[in-house]
């Protein structure tokens, strides 16, 4: 059964601006899926979340959550979803425990009833129960916020950029928590600006300018990359970037961690031309001729981030 | 800028410590930042990065220890330091209701760029950023990626010896993030030293050297490749994980 | 209901965690009452009075002695000409002067009468008008007594029959200013606590983003708002009692009328102010705007147009109309009538009716405007 159906949803905040959300197709998210939405600030992620969480009404199009219409049945939807907005939303002057108790009672529940659901997350917070939420670190705050949005055992969970401003280890822990939650059958929709996190989702939607440009499993998105990708490094990374871009057979070159990623033109066949064993060897030789030392060139698999960066060109 | 005094290190810090009551936020850290390098200052939330940055930028006095930034003492000459460094934070970048040119004028004035040079510097910046056609637009109408590039350029408009970047690329498009880093490379090419914090571990790989702060102390400091070797890791992110897992403190 | 009390409990926690604000809320009225009661007084005191006459006249001497005996005035001395009086006023020697026409006593018995000019330094117009009023009342008092004596010795003089006004200050015989400002301060403080604090506390949840989470919950959003009003209602009642105790025991202003009705009027006004706070919170998005609206758009009229500082009757007509829609004006008037004049409740029914109507309308608009979505 489909947990969420989004059909041509559209929302515009200002006549002069392009719409914040402009979905042009039908997207369905089955029950129990961990669905990721990746995209930068301004892609429309928050607006989409707010519409699905019944906080704003679409200009046109429809969507349903657990079979309920987001406009007509908004009251019912509110009893069965958990929502964690991007902006930190707990009460910083209340303690960790008081926050949790409050949000439980908002849903007419007590903490004990659903404690098993949050146990794995809350155990890290337990030593700080009496601390004011405002004095927690970014990662801890997000964990507490997650507990608060889970305490009523929702069937659908919406998390809007839960890992923004959170350090890498806390981010990984948070994703591990989401993985555990998924096994309980909960549908989870989560957005993030970090491409590396999206690999943990069942399916990923790449969002840009209010639209989903690609919706698929991370593996299928990556296998659909369809261009030849090389990773290159040398001792002078900045000069290397310009040198690579000046090569006629390079379609695109950009920094990527400790290597530069290079996308070759489809028709480039360097090995045949210059008599090298591979394109990589050919490029290495060209670069060494230009005075680069410590040159490493190798073929690499595309990552989600590579896919995202090359979305528009397709 | 001090003429003739081109020491090897732009930042030198010894036994720097900051306590708040009985809480030690920064615990006896010592390190140098070399002239012309990109220095990545990493650490988990609450590890003490912000407190350390505040001391280095003259906003807060250390409880003990000493240090110099751009040749000025952090305990006795904080005002001089503020004048000789650049600073950009994701939280505050530019005044959104002023135009691109107004913002540049304002910050050039604040940092004491000589009046007769302001015009030409602004023009060359606008040229380089390809923002000439937008010079009279309000900053808030620009896309996020442009705003951040503009904020960075403004933070080095007075050609400081060192610029501090506090999570400069949060929430930015992957493509825009890369353009931003190319600007950083350009600034380094011109001789500006860069001190940067980030949560993106791929960005940490762009740095010449990185330090990892855990519980107020610097647990590791070296080039990304040396760190990866030392910890037997394939990426800086893994190094970070290994170090942060031992952290006792969750502020 | 359990959810509702969880909210109320949370609001109390917020308030008690922010001790500084709480102290200001409870302390401010105390400070205001003490300030207005003792330091900032609109009463006049220690006014130096001079006199100018051409002749030695015992009637004038006796009159000036009477002026000197009053608690407000000190007789400073005699000046020979109007120019000298002017000079003395410029030097700051005197604040007011009486100038008698030539041949004063004799002139009194003539049909044309005599003239006294009452002059006051009007740099501070409020003080000047009060000085002039007090001085004229002393003068007319004096001549009434004097006339009575004269009539006994010369009965035929009564035919020249001057009508001398008989001034009496009712309800506030000593013209104490505290009688006037206590209702005013009540109007001000209750509005401050209810309207400002509720609107800021609701808008704060919008600003921090917690409202988003609360909206996406089964709790009816409107009950979130009502839950916020309860703590401020309680604080308002505490403050009200505090003001009344201070008024009775420190300022020694007696409560002339019904205590019950006074409390009831106050409660209606508190509810009205809570409604204003809620209305403001539905219209704005940031705490700073909420503060500005409550502080400027609501406080200023309370100070200027409610009759707290300036009598409404002496305002230009448009302002008088404007004053009719200021809730504090009706509240202050009702409290004045009950507390100071001690009139039976049927004389304040109009004020009570207006306040109740206003409260109903504002609540209706606020509830209608309240949006349980973000758009």
The token duo for B31 is: 């390190």
Cβ–Cβ gap C213/A94 under 8 Å: no
Please tell me which residue, C77 or C352, carries the higher pLDDT value: C352
Contact between residue C243 and residue C249 where contact means Cβ atoms under 8 Å apart: no
pLDDT band, very low/low/confident/very high, at A169 (cuts 50, 70, 90) = confident
Tell whether the model's pLDDT for residue C287 goes beyond 50.
yes
Angle between the N-to-C axes of helices C349-369 and C327-335, in degrees from 0 to 180, rounded to the nearest 10: 150
Tell whether the model's pLDDT for residue C152 goes beyond 80.
no
Chain C residues closer than 8 Å to A83 by CB: 212-213, 216
Please give the backbone phi and psi of residue C359, each rounded to the nearest 5 degrees, phi first.
-60, -45
Which region, left, alpha or beta, applies to residue C373 given φ > 0 means left and ψ of -120 to 50 means alpha?
beta
Cβ–Cβ gap A105/C217 under 8 Å: no
The average pLDDT across C249-274 equals 89
CA distance A294 to C373: 59
CA distance B184 to A236: 14
pLDDT band, very low/low/confident/very high, at C157 (cuts 50, 70, 90) = very low
Per-residue model confidence (pLDDT) at position B221: 95
Per-residue model confidence (pLDDT) at position B2: 44
The sign of the dihedral angle between the CA atoms of B239, B245, B246, B250 is positive
Per-residue model confidence (pLDDT) at position A314: 43
CA distance B231 to B222: 12
Helix (H) or strand (E) holding A263: strand A259-264
Q: What is the pLDDT of residues B181-194, one digit of tens each?
A: 999 999 998 899 99
| Among the ranges given (A122-126, C55-59, C90-94), the one the predictor scored with the smallest mean pLDDT | C55-59
Mean pLDDT taken over chain C: 82
Cβ of A141 under 8 Å from any chain C Cβ? no
Query: Own/partner pairs for B106-110, CB < 8 Å, 24+ apart?
Result: B107/B154, B107/B155, B107/B157, B108/B157, B108/B158
pLDDT band, very low/low/confident/very high, at C163 (cuts 50, 70, 90) = very low
Start-end ranges of CATH 3.40.1710.10 in chain C? Answer: 47-160
Helix (H) or strand (E) holding C290: helix C287-292
Mean pLDDT taken over chain A: 89
Tell whether the model's pLDDT for residue C356 goes beyond 90.
yes
User: Within 10 Å of residue C120's Cβ, how many Cβ atoms?
Assistant: 23
Going from the C-alpha of C262 to that of each of A187, C265, C336, the distances in angstroms are 58, 5, 9
Start-end ranges of CATH 3.30.70 in chain A? Answer: 229-312
CA distance C270 to C230: 11
The structure tokens 């600006």 sit at: A193
DSSP string, B136-202: TSBGGGS-HHHHHHHHHHHHTTT--SEEEEESTTTT--HHHHHHHHHHHHHHHHTT-EEEEE-S-HH
Q: Do chains C and B touch (3 or more CB pairs under 8 A)?
A: no
Nearest residue of A to residue B175 by CA position? A309
Q: Smallest Cα–Cα separation from B57: which of B44, B45, B41, B36?
A: B41
Nearest residue of B to residue A17 by CA position? B141
DSSP strand pairing (B209-214 vs B38-43): parallel
Structural domains for chain B? 4-92+162-244 (3.40.50.300)
Q: What is the pLDDT of residues A15-39, one digit of tens each?
A: 877 889 999 889 999 999 999 998 8
The structure tokens 């030539």 sit at: C102
CA distance A161 to A166: 10
The CATH homologous superfamily to which domain C47-160 belongs is: abc type-2 transporter like domain (3.40.1710.10)
Per-residue model confidence (pLDDT) at position C340: 81
Per-residue model confidence (pLDDT) at position C42: 57
Name the minimum distance, in Å, from the CA of C21 to any CA of chain A. Answer: 14
| Residues whose CB is less than 8 angstroms from the CB of residue C311 and which lie 6 or more positions away in sequence, other chains included | none
Q: Smallest Cα–Cα separation from B185: which of B85, B39, B38?
A: B38
Walking along chain B (251 residues) 10 residues at a time, the average pLDDT comes out as: 63 94 92 95 87 91 93 92 87 82 90 88 88 87 84 91 89 82 90 92 91 92 93 89 71 42
Please tell me the pTM assigned to this model.
0.79
Tell whether the model's pLDDT for residue C312 goes beyond 90.
no
Cβ–Cβ gap B185/A256 under 8 Å: no
Please give the backbone phi and psi of residue C183, each rounded to the nearest 5 degrees, phi first.
-60, -35
pLDDT band, very low/low/confident/very high, at C39 (cuts 50, 70, 90) = low
ipTM value, please give it.
Answer: 0.80
Per-residue model confidence (pLDDT) at position B1: 43
pLDDT band, very low/low/confident/very high, at A240 (cuts 50, 70, 90) = very high
A257, A259, A260, A312: which to substitute to probe chain B, counting the most B Cβ within 10 Å? Answer: A257
Please tell me which residue, B142 or C310, carries the higher pLDDT value: B142
* Closest partner CB to B172 (pick from A41, A137, A138): A41
Q: In what order do the strands lie in the sheet with A187-192?
A: A81-84, A156-159, A187-192, A34-38, A203-208, A211-216
The average pLDDT across A41-48 equals 87
* Closest partner CB to B144 (pick from A42, A136, A166): A42
The structure tokens 């401003």 sit at: A165
Chain C residues closer than 8 Å to A54 by CB: 216, 373
| Among the ranges given (A80-94, C122-136, C142-156), the one the predictor scored with the smallest mean pLDDT | C142-156
| Residues whose CB is less than 8 angstroms from the CB of residue A65 and which lie 6 or more positions away in sequence, other chains included | A3, A4, A52, A77, A80, A81, A156
Per-residue model confidence (pLDDT) at position A32: 93
* Closest partner CB to B171 (pick from A40, A137, A139): A40
pLDDT band, very low/low/confident/very high, at A102 (cuts 50, 70, 90) = very high
Start-end ranges of CATH 3.40.50.300 in chain A? Answer: 2-223
Per-residue model confidence (pLDDT) at position C268: 95
Going from the C-alpha of C319 to that of each of A41, C174, C256, C300, C322, the distances in angstroms are 51, 30, 31, 13, 5
Tell whether the model's pLDDT for residue C112 goes beyond 90.
no
Contact between residue C321 and residue C210 where contact means Cβ atoms under 8 Å apart: no
Tell whether the model's pLDDT for residue A271 goes beyond 70.
no
Contact between residue C144 and residue C166 where contact means Cβ atoms under 8 Å apart: yes
Chain B residues closer than 8 Å to A40 by CB: 144-145, 171-174, 176
Q: Class assignment of domain A229-312?
A: alpha beta
Q: Smallest Cα–Cα separation from A214: which of A198, A200, A237, A228?
A: A198
Per-residue model confidence (pLDDT) at position B6: 60
CA distance B142 to B129: 13
Contact between residue B164 and residue B56 where contact means Cβ atoms under 8 Å apart: yes
Q: Class assignment of domain A2-223?
A: alpha beta
Cβ–Cβ gap A55/C214 under 8 Å: no
Please tell me which residue, A185 or B172, carries the higher pLDDT value: A185
Percent of chain C residues topping a pLDDT of 70:
89
Distance of CA A213 to the CA centre of its chain: 14
Contact between residue C294 and residue C196 where contact means Cβ atoms under 8 Å apart: yes
Q: Smallest Cα–Cα separation from B67: which of B10, B117, B130, B16?
A: B16
């Amino acid at each position: 059964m489909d947990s969420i159906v989004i059909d041509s949803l559209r929302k515009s905040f200002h006549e002069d601006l392009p719409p914040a959300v402009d979905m042009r197709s039908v997207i369905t998210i089955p029950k129990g899926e961990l669905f990721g939405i990746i995209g930068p600030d301004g892609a429309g992620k928050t607006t989409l979340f707010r519409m699905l969480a019944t906080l704003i009404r679409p200009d046109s199009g429809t969507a349903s959550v657990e079979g309920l219409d987001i406009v007509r049945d908004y009251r019912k939807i509110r009893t069965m979803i958990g929502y964690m907005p991007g902006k930190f939303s707990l009460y910083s002057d209340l303690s960790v425990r008081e926050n949790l108790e409050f949000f439980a009672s908002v849903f007419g529940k007590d903490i004990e009833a659903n404690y098993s659901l949050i146990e794995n997350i809350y155990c890290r917070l337990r030593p700080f129960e009496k601390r004011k939420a405002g004095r927690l670190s970014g990662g801890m705050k997000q964990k507490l916020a997650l507990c608060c949005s889970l305490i009523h055992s929702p069937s659908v969970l919406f998390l809007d950029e839960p890992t923004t401003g959170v350090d890498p280890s806390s981010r990984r822990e948070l994703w591990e928590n989401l993985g555990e939650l998924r096994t309980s059958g909960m549908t989870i929709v989560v957005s993030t600006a970090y491409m590396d996190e999206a690999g943990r989702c069942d399916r990923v939607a790449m969002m840009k300018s209010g639209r989903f440009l690609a919706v698929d499993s991370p593996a299928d998105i990556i296998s659909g990359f369809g261009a030849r990708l090389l990773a290159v490094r040398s001792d002078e990374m900045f000069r290397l970037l310009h040198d690579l871009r000046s090569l006629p057979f390079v379609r695109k070159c950009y920094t990527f961690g400790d290597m530069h990623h290079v996308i070759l033109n489809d028709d480039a066949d360097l090995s045949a031309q210059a008599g090298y064993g591979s394109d990589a060897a050919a490029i290495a030789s060209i670069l060494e001729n230009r005075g680069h030392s410590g040159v490493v060139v190798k073929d690499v698999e595309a990552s989600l981030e590579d896919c995202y960066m090359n979305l528009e060109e397709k | 800028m001090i003429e003739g005094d081109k020491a090897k290190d732009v930042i030198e810090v010894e036994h720097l410590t900051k306590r708040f009551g009985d809480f030690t936020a920064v615990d006896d850290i010592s390190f140098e930042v070399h002239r012309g390098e990109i220095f990545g200052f990493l650490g988990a939330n609450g590890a003490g990065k912000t407190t350390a940055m505040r001391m280095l930028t003259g906003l807060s006095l250390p409880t003990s220890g000493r240090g110099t930034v751009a040749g000025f003492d952090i305990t006795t000459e904080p005002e001089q330091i503020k004048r000789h460094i650049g600073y950009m934070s994701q939280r505050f970048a530019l005044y959104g209701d002023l135009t691109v040119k107004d913002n540049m004028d304002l910050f050039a004035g604040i940092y004491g760029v000589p009046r007769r040079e302001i015009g030409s510097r602004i023009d060359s910046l606008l040229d380089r950023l390809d923002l000439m056609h937008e010079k009279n637009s309000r900053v808030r109408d620009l896309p996020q990626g442009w705003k951040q590039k503009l904020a960075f350029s403004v933070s080095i408009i007075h050609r400081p010896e060192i610029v501090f970047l506090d999570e400069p690329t949060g929430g930015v498009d992957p493509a825009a993030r890369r353009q931003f880093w190319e600007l950083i490379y350009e600034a380094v090419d011109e001789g500006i030293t860069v001190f940067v914090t980030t949560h993106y571990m791929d960005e940490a790989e762009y740095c010449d050297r990185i330090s990892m702060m855990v519980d107020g102390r610097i647990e590791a400091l070296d080039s990304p490749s040396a760190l990866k070797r030392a910890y037997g890791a394939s990426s800086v992110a893994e190094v970070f994980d290994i170090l942060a897992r031992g952290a006792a403190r969750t502020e | 209901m359990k959810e509702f009390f969880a909210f109320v409990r949370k609001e109390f926690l917020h308030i008690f965690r922010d001790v500084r604000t709480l102290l200001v809320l409870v302390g401010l009225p105390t400070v205001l009452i003490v300030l207005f009661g003792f330091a900032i007084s609109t009463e006049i005191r220690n006014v130096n009075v001079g006199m100018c006459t051409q002749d030695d006249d015992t009637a004038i001497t006796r009159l000036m002695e009477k002026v000197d005996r009053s608690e407000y005035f000190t007789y400073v001395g005699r000046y020979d000409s109007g120019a000298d009086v002017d000079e003395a006023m410029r030097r700051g020697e005197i604040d007011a002067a009486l100038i008698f026409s030539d041949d004063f006593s004799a002139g009194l018995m003539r049909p044309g009468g005599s003239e006294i000019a009452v002059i006051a330094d009007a740099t501070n117009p409020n003080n000047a008008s009060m000085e002039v009023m007090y001085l004229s009342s002393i003068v007319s008092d004096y001549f009434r007594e004097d006339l009575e004596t004269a009539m006994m010795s010369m009965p035929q003089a009564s035919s020249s029959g001057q009508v001398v006004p008989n001034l009496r200050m009712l309800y506030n015989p000593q013209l104490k200013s505290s009688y006037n400002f206590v209702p005013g301060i009540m109007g001000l403080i209750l509005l401050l606590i209810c309207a400002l604090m509720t609107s800021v506390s609701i808008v704060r949840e919008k600003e921090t983003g917690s409202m988003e989470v609360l909206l996406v919950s089964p709790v009816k959003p409107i009950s979130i708002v009502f839950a916020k009003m309860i703590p401020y209602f309680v604080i308002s009642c505490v403050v009200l009692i505090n003001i009344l105790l201070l008024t009775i025991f420190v300022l020694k202003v007696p409560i002339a009328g019904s205590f019950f009705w006074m409390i009831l009027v106050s409660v209606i006004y508190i509810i009205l102010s809570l409604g204003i706070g809620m209305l403001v919170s539905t219209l704005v998005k940031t705490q700073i705007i909420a503060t500005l609206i409550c502080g400027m758009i609501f406080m200023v009229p309370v100070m200027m147009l409610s009759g707290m500082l300036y009598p409404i009757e002496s305002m230009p007509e448009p302002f008088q109309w404007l004053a009719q829609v200021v809730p504090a004006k009706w509240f202050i008037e009702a409290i004045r009538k009950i507390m100071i004049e001690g009139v039976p409740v049927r004389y304040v029914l109009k004020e009570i009716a207006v306040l109740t109507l206003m409260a109903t309308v504002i609540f209706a608009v606020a509830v209608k405007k309240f949006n349980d979505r973000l758009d």
